[in-house]
Every structure is written in structure tokens, then in C-alpha cells.
Structure 1
Amino acid sequence: MTATSRRQRLRALLASDQCYFPGSVFDAISARIAQEIGFETGMYAGSVASLAVLGAPDIILLTLSEFAEQARRIGRASDLPVIADADHGYGNALNVMRSVEELEHAGLAALTIEDTLLPRPFDQKAVTAVSLREGIGKMKAAVAARSDPSLCVIARTGALLMGGLSDALERFRAYQDTGVDGVFLTGVTSMSEIDAFAAVARLPILLGGTPAGLLNRKELASRGVRIALQGHQPFMAAVAAVRKTMLAQRNGTELPELVAKPDLDRLSGEPVWSARVRAFLTDTD
């Protein structure tokens, strides 16, 4: 499946009347697992990418090239349409354009650009947003930078936590006029807040960091929410499993449950590679 076809599949999800929970993916195998299970789309988060690639916390230490290369590996491994958290676009509006170019080339179906002031400036005690004017400029730059019109560019704002509902609504309205394909909200804590955004929404709504009690597909769908993240527990579970297994090996105790070889063979594409060995590495004369 081509990158464009994956992007078109994601656009169909955003244009539907349903709400989808994406699978949290961070490498090739996790993307294949999400696809096999039946997730309609995947989410590749900056926080998880920093942990998976650098073993570092989510404080904007990961570079664009590192993030894009991992996205490229994920895209090669499955047909899952993946949405990427491109953070602040790795700089100003011009850096945003470069980020869009790189991540589009990596094969992603969509990317989000947020209006948070990152990385945190010297002596700044709390996370803040860039000005609304700069935020609008970054979203317009992101839209202008894509060469494949099927790539989804999503504006993202955490203003609800940083400036309150009034500021978040102002940004939400403004970003809808920049040419983006949806608006991603973080920090929502109640259905009444979602209702406030739904009342002025002209584009699909995406949610991140939403309390589990609000993750009701039917209720969210009726409010125009098309994508709602459940969290990045798969990566945390993977870390826990690796630690338990290494501890068991170190201590000589019973190993925890491991993936069965037939399952690993299927996820790694072993049958396909075996067929290629027979076709191209075997003397048939």
C-alpha cells in the first residue's frame, strides 16, 4: 500500500461519523501488531519516540531526523495509516515546513503541529503557548509545505491547560481557518468542554490525554470527535515485560509468558522471506 493510499484511508476515517481509538505504535513490530489486531489507524507519539530511540524523557531532546527515521521504519512495516505527533515542528514556521517535508517523505498519513513554546526557555517555570499569531503562522506554513495533498495536517493546542477555555476556543476557531484538516486538543477533562468546541467545530476534532471516563465512542462521535487517544500503555507494557524477562534470566527463575514462535514468524514476515530465499537464493538449474 502506498503512502497516498494510507493517507486516503485516514481521510475517510476523519470524514466518517465514527470515533476511532488509534493503536499506540513505536516501532515496526508494534505497527504490525496494531494492524493485525484490527486498529484502523496508529499513533506515533513524540514522548514514546524519545523513549524508544534515545531512552530519554519527553523534553524535546529527539531531533527531527531521528523522529523521521523511526517513522520511516514504522511506515515500511505495515499498511496502517499512522498519525505522528510532530511536537512544535522542531522550531519556528520555517522549521515546521522542513518537518512536514521530512515526515511526508517518511510515509506518515498525518502529523500534528502544536502551539506550545518548545523547548522550554531558560528560567521558565511553566509550559506556555506561543502567541496566537505565531501559532496561525506555523499552521499555515505546515499546510503550505506538503506536496501530497492527501497528507493530513492537524493543528494541535494545549491551550486549555495553559490559558483556559476562552483562549483554547479562540485558537480552535483561528486554526480552523488555516487550511488544516482537523484540530487536536489536549487537556480536555469534561464532556462540557468538548461540547464547547463541538459547538464551533467545522473540522474533525482529535483528542489526546483524555480521561478514561470520557472515552465513549458513541458520545464522542456525536460531538464530532473522530480520533481519541487511549494512551501509550503498549510501550510501557513492553518495557515492563523486558524488565521481568531480564530479571528472570538474571535470577534463574521462571520466565514470564513469551510470544510464540509462530506468532513471531508471522509478525516478522518469515513466510514471505522464506519464499524469497527459495526464489532467489536457491539454484534451480
Structure 2
Amino acid sequence: MRWKARREAARAVLEGTACIHPASVHDPVSVRIAEGLGFELGMFAGSVGSLTVLGAPDLIVLTLTEFAEQSLRINRAASRLPLVVDADHGYGNALNVMRTVEELEIAGVSAMSIEDTELPNPYGTSKPRLITLDEGVGKIRAALAARQDKGLSIFARTGAVSVNGLEDALVRAKAYCKTGADGLFLTGVTKRAELDAIAEVATIPIILGTLSPEITDRDYLASRGVRIALQGHLPFQAAIQALHATMKALRDGVAPKDVGGMPDAALGKAVTREADYAAWAKGYLGA
């Protein structure tokens, strides 16, 4: 299976002793850049998927099919980089979660998270809410049952710390660890006391979806069982700014040769694999 080595590499991160920062990727070019820079993992978030595919905010208007297709494009373009994806709430109930796992496994992802947030936001609500613990556990159990390749990692994700408080987060953490999930994905944790408390009860590796100035030290994070810590999704935001600045300069009459911020030719050729295509053309087309 072409994805086997990548899934093994992702599991090696989880089973290691260090905390790593994944590269936030969103398309073939971004994942090739991440590979070239030596990142251990790529991370494709649901929020970034919505921005990339639809140009829409993270309101769960992206469909599973669209998310899986973009995941496949990213994986197909990569040579070796394992891809972790945020599969949101699994696009529905536990049966939908099973379908989500099936599609994303086929798309080549190495690990995915399923969260216990009630999504999309119900009518008349303005703040996030969580599904019941029983339903959350059921979703993770369904995800684990649905995977065909046991090398695929499944993370149980919860934002309970910021939504319901630390006490509920501890209850959920204990329950999710007992499901057989491969990792506990936490959002909303901003204080060492919060992470310390959860680390005390967690029996599986921790993934942090949010960082604060108080919990950025990677040695400290590693000592608490954190193996993956996201740093946000700055690359996509930077791409928005670069596109805007370039288009505005051209619209304002700046000559193309005077527009700054362009990549050098070597980088452009590397991320598009120009040398490979040239070799293929020579070998198979007689060009």
C-alpha cells in the first residue's frame, strides 16, 4: 500500500518522546514546500479546507467529498510526508463518521481527528456546544471500527476545556482514552495547570490544536505527553496577503518586472517537479 510508510512515520511521532510542530498545508504546492523544509508531518485543517475549496469561513459548509478530494490532491503531490487531517465532527452522526473514515483512508491520510463539538451550530445558538459524552464515545468507537488499515491513526478531539470547563474535560479525556483511540486532540487549553491535569489522566499521546504563550515550550509539552502541537495556519493567511499585494501592485500599474516577493526560479521548478516532467517527456515522448 502506498500510504503504509507514511502512516508508520506518523505513528513513530506519536510513539516518540519529542513534541513536533506540523506544517499547515492546503494544496499540492504547499505540501511539497513542507517536505522540502523537512517537516515531519503535514496538517490539513477543516477550516483551511473551507478557505481553500470554497473561500468560505469555517462554518461546516464544506462537504466530506470536497474535503476528501482535497486531501487526496495533497497526498498525491507529496512524496513521503504523512498528512494529519481535522475531520471536524465526522460530517454527521456515528454512521457518517464511519463513511468519513472510509473516504479519508482511501484518500491516503495518515491520521485524522473526530471532535465532539455539536456541528454545524444549531439554530439560535451563538456559542459552541458539545455533544453528550456517550455520543462522543460512540463516534470514536465507530471511527475505529470503520478503518480498514490499522496503521491509520484516529484521534478523539475535544474542546471541553474552553466550552464546559476543566472538570468535564477530564471526564471526557478519561473516556476517550478508554475507546482505543490513538491520540487525544485538545483545543482550548491555554494554561499549564489545565494541561498538567489532563496529562495526569491521559493514557495516550496528546495533540494540541491551540497554543498560548504559557504553553509553547516544546520540552515542557513533551514532558506532558504532547507529541504534536499546532501553530495555527499562517501559511494560508500569508498566501492571501501575497496574492493581494501582487494583484494590487499590477492593478496600480507596477510593471511586472518591478513587482517584488517572487520566488526564485529554482524554487518554482522544485515545487512543480519540472525536472521530473522533463525527464519523462524525454524518455516517453522523445522530446
Q: Shorter-chain TM-score: what band? A: over 0.9
Q: What is the match of residue 21 of structure 1? A: 21
Q: Is structure 2 residue 251 aligned with structure 1 residue 256?
A: no
1:56 is displaced (CA, Å) by 0.3
1:125 is displaced (CA, Å) by 2.6
Q: What is the match of residue 274 of structure 1? A: 278
Query: Deviation digits for residues 192-242 of structure 1, max 9, x if unmatched?
Result: 111001111110000012114422111100110000001100000000000
CA distance in 1, matches of 2:199, 2:127: 28
Tell me the SS of whatever aligns to 1:130. coil
CA distance in 2, matches of 1:66, 1:218: 37
Q: What is the match of residue 142 of structure 2? A: 141
CA contact (8 A) 2:190 2:214 kept: no
Query: Deviation digits for residues 164-204 of structure 1, max 9, x if unmatched?
Result: 00001100000011111010000001111110011111100
CA contact (8 A) 1:244 1:256 kept: no
1:31 is displaced (CA, Å) by 0.4
Tell me the SS of whatever aligns to 1:199. helix
Q: What is the match of residue 9 of structure 2? A: 9
Tell me the SS of whatever aligns to 1:188. coil
Q: What is the match of residue 42 of structure 1? A: 42
CA distance in 1, matches of 2:213, 2:273: 35
Which range moves more in the overlay, 39-48 or 206-215?
206-215
Letter in 1 for 2:93: N
Letter in 2 for 1:67: F
Root-mean-square deviation (CA), in Å?
1.0
Query: How many correspondences in the alignment?
Result: 283
Percent sequence identity is 52
Displaced runs of 4 or more, over 6 A: none
**Unaligned runs of at least 5 residues, structure 1:** none
CA contact (8 A) 1:20 1:40 kept: yes
Query: Deviation digits for residues 20-58 of structure 1, max 9, x if unmatched?
Result: 000000000100111110110011000011001000000
Q: What is the match of residue 62 of structure 2? A: 62
1:267 is displaced (CA, Å) by 1.1
CA contact (8 A) 1:212 1:230 kept: no
TM-score (norm 1): 0.98
